[in-house]
Structure 1
Amino acid sequence: MTDATVQTIEPKTLESIRTVANIGSGTMGHATALQFAVAGYPVKLVDCSEELLKRGMEHIRADAEEFAQAGLLRAEDTVDDVLSRISTYTDYENGVSDADFIIESIVEKLDVKQSVWQQIEQYAPVDAIFATNTSGLGPTAIQSVLKHPERFVVAHFWNPAHLMPLVEVVPGKDTAPEVVDTTFDLMASIGKKPAKIKKESLGFVGNRMQLALLREAFNIINEGIADAETVDTVVRYSLGRRWNLVGPVASADLGGLDTFYNISTYLFKDMDNGTEPSLLLAWKVQDGNLGTKTGRGFYEWQGEDGQRIIRERDEQLMQQLAEDAAVEDADCKSE
């Protein structure tokens, strides 16, 4: 056993986090790096090539410009100020050596994440917090290869990470409670809406809810009850509107738990309760119709209509962020 293993480590607090290392500059990684830089943190962006880093910085600039147009940068900041806080590296030694909080957004493969975190641990300060932005891999499995598993936690941002407020903070079996608390506080300090999950489970909370809904959505389409567009219309203009204001559990309270109980006595029996992936989904994947990444899924994404849906989604998310910021600013001024 090494000296580092038996060393007593003082847990990080929000106040002691000064520098963030961000591993990965892709779809999720560039957005998390932007979020920390917008909040004022120096960010060390690490990826395996200069080409990937250049592409990531281009996406960061584009997103920062949209933030500026929406009034979501700090009053004293310009886009160039935000970008100046981000430095790029292709090696862990220089990328993480002085970081207080290290977050990783790389491929969703357990062995790859374990290998990367073992390399990071060789160079990171012994008290740095390690956070993975996995969307479903268990933190216990990833942290099991570390010398200090107690400092490892999940900080699951939702895509698009710079526009979606939620971050699920999930402990592994060996994660110290103080690490969960500090990560939660850090996410709140950069403007996110963190959710502190009590214990790990496959899919955490958000993806369990999402896949439960999708299982029945795919079943409805496969059974010919409604097509994909109709299913989306029903959710957007009923559950989507309601759940954006109060969650499903509060909605059940408001609707009357006796009512929901009575409905469940007959409806559950008629719903899909299978434990295998949807056949409809499997057929889409087998045919290579994967959604936006291939241009076709349940919808056509190659034409203007597909791009319009994405654009309108992002515009609405940006508008909601601006409204959230305005409310928080008003609350601060009234205190």
Structure 2
Amino acid sequence: MEKVIVIGAGIMGAALARHFLSPGHPVALIDPADTARAAATKAIGDTPGFVSSPSVDALGPDWQSCGFVIEAVPERLDLKRAVLGELSRHFGPETAIASNTSGLRAADLARDLSHPERFAIAHFFNPADIVPAVELVPAPQTSHETLDRWQALLEGSGKKVARLGADLPGFVANRLQHAMARECFHLIEAGVIDAEGLDTITRYALGVRLALSGPLMQRDLNGIDTHHAIASYLYPDLAADQTPPKLLDDKLAAGELGRKSGKGFYTWDERQERKAKRMQALLPEIIALARRIDMEEE
């Protein structure tokens, strides 16, 4: 099994380490902060093949021929570029390097890399060891061989890979998510519905279908002619704001940041926390149902 190095021992980095350890890859988790490494090591447990280290240099010669390195440091362009540049200088061109950025452009991240052809973005979704999808995004210089190598590693570890043909802001998932959120905020500000009612519609109508079919299969099931007829009169009335809505500005100003501050669209008391934990615990069951449909047709 190919060695995998993960840079950054935060929530995402620890989850990535758990994911690749599961099928048997040796994994080294790198972070200069002792506290971060200790917390990640505790979360991962005593797993064969796992190593944690404060630096790549401290790993030793056995890891110099590592096949894959994934950067998962905080979402700052300057920091990511510095880390990726150091990795590019440290490892030879045979090592494929990826960033787990949520939306930074691949072209910006790869700008100063030596051997930029072996760089790509592998956008995992939180929790990275549970959610199957990964967006694989090329930089302008990324080679097809690099994309093929990453796709083979990811699919071999159990991921569902969506290989993008272009490097665009937000990739695909965040563009879809923000397009839907923009309409949600518009409807709340217009007094059409409140947050709880909107989530009820999304969860019990759209959500239950999207988990099993996806929006384009739904168009086939409903009829493309029907969708076209509705789109003809509905599209002009949809939100088209070019800046974040006042609703978000007001919450930001009030310090209502969601779970992290105790209040957002919901009040995060003990009951709400229990509900969130139950939701996360059920994720594997929902994913298993979606996978079962695919497996039955293979």
Q: What TM-score, normalized to structure 2?
A: 0.93
Q: Give me the whole-angstrom Cα distance separating, in 2, the residues matched to 1:262 and 1:315.
A: 40
Which residue in 2 is equivalent to 1:89?
A: 53
Q: Among 243, 246, 253, which residue is 1:279 paired with? A: 246
Offset of residue 104 of structure 1: 1.0
Which residue in 1 is equivalent to 2:129?
A: 162
SS in 2 for 1:108: coil
CA gap 1:281/1:270 in 2 versus in 1, 3 angstroms: same
Matched, 1:32 2:7: no
Offset of residue 102 of structure 1: 0.2
Offset of residue 326 of structure 1: 7.3
Matched, 1:220 2:187: yes
SS in 1 for 2:249: helix
Which residue in 2 is equivalent to 1:52?
A: 36
Which residue in 2 is equivalent to 1:318?
A: 284
Matched, 1:307 2:273: yes
Q: What TM-score, normalized to structure 1?
A: 0.83
Which residue in 2 is equivalent to 1:132?
A: 99
Stretches of structure 1 lacking an aligned partner (at least 5 in a row): 1-16, 62-79
Instruction: Note if contact 1:100-1:125 (Cα within 8 Å) is conserved in structure 2.
Output: no
Which residue in 2 is equivalent to 1:144?
A: 111
Q: Give me the whole-angstrom Cα distance separating, in 2, the residues matched to 1:306 and 1:190.
A: 33
Matched, 1:116 2:83: yes
Structure number with higher relative contact order (C-alpha < 8 Å, ≥ 6 residues apart): 1
Deviation string 1:297-318 (CA, Å, 9 cap, x unpaired) is 11112x2222122211111112
Which residue in 2 is equivalent to 1:199?
A: 166
Instruction: Note if contact 1:23-1:29 (Cα within 8 Å) is conserved in structure 2.
Output: yes
Q: Among 175, 199, 224, which residue is 2:142 paired with? A: 175
CA gap 1:256/1:306 in 2 versus in 1, 3 angstroms: same
SS in 1 for 2:36: helix
Offset of residue 123 of structure 1: 1.8
SS in 2 for 1:219: helix
CA gap 1:326/1:249 in 2 versus in 1, 3 angstroms: closer
User: Quick one: which amino acid aligns to residue 155 of structure 1?
Assistant: A
Cα RMSD for the two superposed structures: 2.0
State the percentage of identical aligned residues: 36
Q: Give me the whole-angstrom Cα distance separating, in 2, the residues matched to 1:245 and 1:322.
A: 10
User: Quick one: which amino acid aligns to residue 39 of structure 2?
Assistant: R
